[in-house]
Amino acid sequence: MADKLIIVESPAKANTIKKFLGGSTKVVASMGHIRDLPKSKLGVDVNNNFEPEYINIRGKGDLIKNLKRDAKNAKKVYLATDPDREGEAIAWHLSKILDVDSSKITRVTFNEITKSAVQKAIKEPRDIDINLVDAQQARRVLDRIVGYKISPVLWKKVRRGLSAGRVQSVAVKLIVDREEEIEKFIPEEYWNIYVKLLDENSKKTFEAKFFGKDSKKQEIHNKEQVDEILKNIKNAKYIVEEIKKGEKKRTPAPPFTTSTMQQEASRKLGFTLKKTMSVAQGLYEGVNIPEKGTIGLITYMRTDSTRISEEARAAAKQHILSAYGKEYYENRYYKTNKDAQDAHEGIRPTYAELEPEKIKDSLTKDQYKLYKLIYNRFMASQMTSAVYDTISVTIDANRYIFKTNGQNLKFKGFMTLYVEGTDEKEEEEEGNIPDLKEKQEVIKQSIEPKQSFTEPPARYTEASLVKALEEKGIGRPSTYSPTITTILERRYIEKEQKQLVPTELGKVVNKLLTENFTDIINVEFTANIENQFDNIAEGKENWKKMIGEFYIPFEETVEKVEKELEHVELVEEVSDVPCDKCGRMMVYKYGKYGKFLACPGYPECKNTKPIIETIDIPCPKCGGTIQVRKAKNKKQYYICENNPKSCDYISWNKPQKEN
């Protein structure tokens, strides 16, 4: 009989914790949730104060039986699931099915899986926080109601099997809206004028850019304006009018939150959100390190806080002082977003002495990359600013002003270790400027006008979509990855390189939902719901009352939409392809794998055809037409139309045109 039974979610986490505790303690895994709403029906009793109808998850019968037996045989049961709302809910569900006296069950949490953190948690057990449980229940029930009630509208009007989700539908809307912005965008012409100048004293050349006239900024929109400026400065002398020298500091970024980690891993490592969270989970739950055994290498990876414990701060200080010197250390505190759930720390390494290079051989390639990113970001957050010497020069040419800026890195500070990435286009590096004097003349070497056009907004990437969702208050750290994964799997959006593009199916579904469920599929509503979940978690709001206030107008909207759409047929897009069985012109339909052609004579004629994309480059082997297809992993490949009959050409790489 074990003195203590500790239940966690995963076997990896269980194995790590076992190493820290004595022989009379048993550690087992629940393998995630053990109860949930049924898949086959709504599972929420709307006539009985929205009581959820939880059932044991299919296939977990033996596991539940074993958990009950272990709980019965233990003196004390510790529910050590993850330290967030989802983990609190799993602990609560476990407490409901273990079939032992409630006084025997207690809750423990730790933000990192280290010996000291686990032992401290066991000494400081608490009751299950029912407010956190209720916040999770509210999300689960609300999302079930929305999905269960709206999805049938899609089944009737688009196709069976489709589903709508409260957060997913808003994410799709953002992507569709951005695509429409891009399609409607009209480029505007603008010009820049660059002049190459020589400082005769140093014999160095440098470049300056047109700013305006008489110290007023002037935009150039056409060639006529360019010609006018060039005419007026044709014989002008270029005189250095003003030199401003200064110093600029660049401060480090704070430790990672879930969303900033996902964004950086996407930008710098090319990881999908799903991959980032999976690799981070492994680092958190435990890795076998020589001389230390299996230990958690990072703190809990679902957080929107940048707060760091004083112990971690002290460890970072010691490491920076010994590795870099006192001029590189600065004790920094970061403000956490006002909407953040500040229950635990930002993401950081658990052991400051375990530098990435030291443990590289114990990690997989992906674990090493992500651990290095987390480690360096955290250490850099406690380092001094980088310092630049800056110079700004204003040059006059017959009252027309040109400007140039330069900067030299004087002290690297935190940039020794880490520089934050960005989704924006990097600015061109500012060049070195010779040692000029005010009122001196510099000699024109050449002048070059350059025509450009404004560009449409960029499509979202996984990283920039996460940033947008967070800024708009849609979802929380635990929801970003599953949200984007879901809309990709449903084929509402797809990836082109790293960009997220709506499919035709995504556009059709978005149009139907946004036109008919305006109050639900919008950013403000979704963000407000998240705030209500936060209020429930803090005990400020009753979850069933919140669901009730949402449900009554929502149910009325659904009934109204179903009535209005009852006799509305979606207008099908007609193709120029005749049905080879009955001669009718085939129409475009949307299936699980995207767009296809179908005979409008269904059910009399059930003929369908795939839509075959081709390229205008002939097959390198036989000269036939090259078709573009997608493999099961959604990666594009190229195949000859004659394969496999008379040609075996197939390639992942697009064939090249012969010169």
514's tokens: 């946004």
Q: Which residue has tokens 């037409």?
A: 625
Q: Which residue of the set 54, 78, 284, 300 is catalytic?
A: 300
Q: What is the DSSP string of 401-441?
A: EEEEEEEEEEE-GGGGT-----SSPPPPPPPP-----TT-E
C-alpha 414/C-alpha 251 separation (Å) is 8
In the 3-class helix/strand/coil scheme, how is 294-316 assigned residue by residue?
EECCECCCCCCCCCCCHHHHHHH
Residue 428 burial (C-beta neighbours within 10 Å; 0-12, 13-18, 19+) = exposed
Q: Given CA atoms 64, 67, 73, 76 in this order, what sign does their dihedral have?
A: negative
Which residues sit opposite 588 in a β-bridge? 597
300: annotated active-site residue: yes
Residue 378, C-beta contacts closer than 8 angstroms, at least 6 positions apart: 255, 256, 308, 312, 316, 346, 347, 348, 349
C-alpha 642/C-alpha 624 separation (Å) is 7
Cis peptide before 477 (omega within 30 of 0): no
Q: Which residue has tokens 């197939």?
A: 650
Query: How far apart, in Å, are the Cα atoms of 427 and each of 10, 96, 236, 423?
Result: 45, 57, 30, 12
Contact yes or no for 2/25 (Cβ under 8 A): yes
Query: How far apart, in Å, are the Cα atoms of 145 and each of 156, 160, 243?
Result: 18, 18, 65
Residue 82, C-beta contacts closer than 8 angstroms, at least 6 positions apart: 9, 90, 109, 300, 302
Question: Annotated catalytic sites, by residue?
Answer: 300
